[in-house]
């Protein structure tokens, strides 16, 4: 993550940090399932702050969404 900050615009780095923190907060407690739609909405809102054409950003976002889906299904 720190290496990304070197070549990614600050708002991209901020998005990844916020998305990571949001995911970690909710994935650490399985009883927060009702909050997962809020996490997804928050993630989409943050994505709007960054360029969707940035492959690192899109990859990180997709990985987080996939992980949230696995958490929801478990």
| CB-neighbour burial class of residue 30 (10 A; exposed 0-12, middle 13-18, buried 19+) | exposed
Q: How much is the average pLDDT of 4-9?
A: 44
pLDDT per residue as tens digits for the range 14-63 = 666 766 676 666 555 545 445 555 656 666 566 555 555 556 666 666 77
pLDDT above 50 (res 1): no
Give the burial string for 49-72 (b: 16+ CB within 10 Å, else e): ebeeeeeebeebbeebbeebeebe
Q: How far apart are CA 20 and CA 25, in angstroms?
A: 9
Helix crossing, 36-47 with 10-27: angle to 10°? 180
User: Domain locations in the chain?
Assistant: 10-15+35-74
Say what the pTM is: 0.33
Tokens standing for residue 9: 């615009």
């Amino acid at each position: 993550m720190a290496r990304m900050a070197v070549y990614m615009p600050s708002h991209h780095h901020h998005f990844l940090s916020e998305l990571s923190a949001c995911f970690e907060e909710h994935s650490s407690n399985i009883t927060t399932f009702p909050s997962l739609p809020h996490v997804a909405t928050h993630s989409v809102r943050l994505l709007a702050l960054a360029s969707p054409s940035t492959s690192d950003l899109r990859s990180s976002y997709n990985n987080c969404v996939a992980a949230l889906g696995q958490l929801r299904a478990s």
